[in-house]
Structure 1
Amino acid sequence: MKFPRLLRFALLLLPLAGALLLAGCQRDASLPFKLTNISGHMPDLQFQLTDDNGKPVSAADYRGKVLLLYFGYTHCPDVCPLTLAQLHVALQKLGKQADDVRILFVSVDPARDTPAVLHAYVNAFDKRAVGLTGNPRAIEALSKRYRSAFTREPASQDGNYEVTHSSAIYVFDGDGHARVLSTPGTPQDDLVHDLDLLLTHGAAA
């Protein structure tokens, strides 16, 4: 990985870093989360996109489920497949409880990630994963809503390109409230612990 790409990736994380500093100053003590608690510091989940079956969906369609929101793309060479594999293992550790969890994989590459492509990709990792796509404006608006960011790299001679993107995983409770923030480097047991808390105590905690 070339240094300029690393630098661009670091710059993408700056808006999110500011949000984390704010969250760290004022933590919600209602539940003993192990991950970064963002309760009250990020807006409720809201979007109008298309799922991997080609059906228009909104955040309301997933109410009652604990949601893991992640921005990525199917041609991603490293962090996306690693993250989805890790999330699958975390859900496996939850056992039957994981039936009430959904992974929302929002494509930052809608030009290539059609619903059919997304369906095959996310289902290869976990049946509880949903691929989401839409027009570029809707995806950009959702990304900005959660202080995430992405940028398309210049295409190579064969027309292929990569998309540098933030790698945060946003966890929402059953009422669509943002509760904790995870990353691909987060200890997996910490994520399992916090998902169990949200599944056991619900959104009212």
Structure 2
Amino acid sequence: MRPCADLAPPRRLTRWRALLCAGMLVLFAGGALAVTGVAAAPRAPGELPAIDETQAIRLAEDAVGRVVPDFELRDSNGKPLRLGSYRGKPLLVSFIYTGCFEICPAQTRSLYAAVKGLDSMLGENQFNVISIGFNQPFDDPKAMRAFASQHRIKHRNWAFLSPRPNDVEALTRAFGFSWVATPAGFDHVLGVTVVDAEGRIHSQVLGDAVSAERLGTPLRRLLLYEQPQIVSSPISQLIERVRILCTVYDARTGEYRYDWKLILQMASGLLFFLTMFIWLFGEWRRQRRQRRLTGLPCPVTAHAVSGKGV
């Protein structure tokens, strides 16, 4: 089991922020959800529900190495889609609820900026992203589509999905995602789960500051060493891996860029070995030609045949 990547404690909603997040949920508290959440902290009478942060981190860590079950969800157009259909490429998974007015939108925009930075390093088709609405039945396909449109999330490999209401608890537990329903919304873990190409949870990147650097570390490891993608030819695969290897995170822009110093060093090394190969090949041919010349018999003259002297 791999350790949690860049583990940071989940951010707890403060009371004044929680009041901004989906105040209308209190109207549906009686029957909207069959359970109150995952990893709820013990509380005295009169205290608001909250996450047990220690338990939430432990649940996230325990999920690493687990194969995600093949749940059926619906995309933003209402079409059924199974999690298993994303196998074959790394997958970034975030949980949101559309009734949140501050935390979930900010986290989603942060993830969007990170994904655009990763596109420049890995390419748009190297991984997929999904955001799952866990507040069912309110996070239906229409609400998820409106959420994506409102926050201008447009990416060809990013989908906003809605699970079945009865699957929410099992789905969130499978990913190690902790949440607790409160009168003003939800107290929940912030972060992104990295799933490998075989559908196994590779790492958890927790915290509200999700950057291209933090997500790029596990994705680079997957694509370069652990689960390199199969492309059309070995040459294309080699070029793709070298391209990913020759990128470095730029803290000023928040994106990955090509490390031209490393590229020049690699080109110089390649040129050196090519030069040495050409020289060694030429030396081998020269010595071979010399051995052939020294091994030829002396030409027989007419005087030698007749036995007459000069």
- Tell whether the structures are fold-level matches, with TM greater than 0.5: yes
> 1:170 offset after TM fit, Å?
0.8
Determine the structure 2 residue equivalent to 1:31: none
Classify 1:199/1:86 alpha carbon distance in 2 versus 1 (closer, same or farther; 3 Å).
Answer: farther
> 1:138 offset after TM fit, Å?
0.7
> 1:54 offset after TM fit, Å?
0.7
Q: Distance in 2 between matches of 1:151 and 1:10?
A: 6
Matches within 5 A, 1:1-205: 1-2=14-15, 8-11=49-52, 13-19=53-59, 38=64, 40=65, 42-94=66-118, 95=120, 97-123=123-149, 124-127=152-155, 128-154=157-183, 161-183=184-206, 184-186=208-210, 188-201=212-225, 203=227
| Backbone CA RMSD of aligned residues | 2.9
Q: Is the 8 Å Cα contact of residues 72 and 165 (structure 1) preserved in structure 2? A: no
1:66-97: per-residue Cα shift (whole Å, max 9, x none)? 21111111121222112211211122112262
Q: How many residues align?
A: 181
Q: Is the 8 Å Cα contact of residues 51 and 179 (structure 2) preserved in structure 1? A: no
Classify 1:173/1:136 alpha carbon distance in 2 versus 1 (closer, same or farther; 3 Å).
Answer: same
> 1:99 offset after TM fit, Å?
2.5
TM-score by length of 1: 0.74
Equivalent residue letter for 1:130: A
Determine the structure 1 residue equivalent to 2:273: none
> 1:171 offset after TM fit, Å?
0.4
TM-score by length of 2: 0.51
> 1:182 offset after TM fit, Å?
0.6
Q: Percent identity?
A: 23
Q: Distance in 1 between matches of 2:61 and 2:181?
A: 27
Q: Is the 8 Å Cα contact of residues 119 and 130 (structure 1) preserved in structure 2? A: no
1:154-199: per-residue Cα shift (whole Å, max 9, x none)? 2xxxxxx522222231101111111111122355412123223323
Q: Distance in 2 between matches of 1:54 and 1:21?
A: 32
> 1:202 offset after TM fit, Å?
5.2
Equivalent residue letter for 1:174: A
Q: Distance in 2 between matches of 1:188 and 1:47?
A: 28
Structure with max Cα Rg: 2
Stretches of structure 1 lacking an aligned partner (at least 5 in a row): 24-37, 155-160
Larger relative contact order (C-alpha < 8 A, sep ≥ 6)?
1
Equivalent residue letter for 1:15: Q
Classify 1:10/1:185 alpha carbon distance in 2 versus 1 (closer, same or farther; 3 Å).
Answer: farther
> 1:149 offset after TM fit, Å?
2.6
Q: Is the 8 Å Cα contact of residues 94 and 132 (structure 2) preserved in structure 1? A: yes
> 1:43 offset after TM fit, Å?
3.1
Classify 1:15/1:104 alpha carbon distance in 2 versus 1 (closer, same or farther; 3 Å).
Answer: farther
Stretches of structure 2 lacking an aligned partner (at least 5 in a row): 1-13, 19-40, 42-47, 230-310
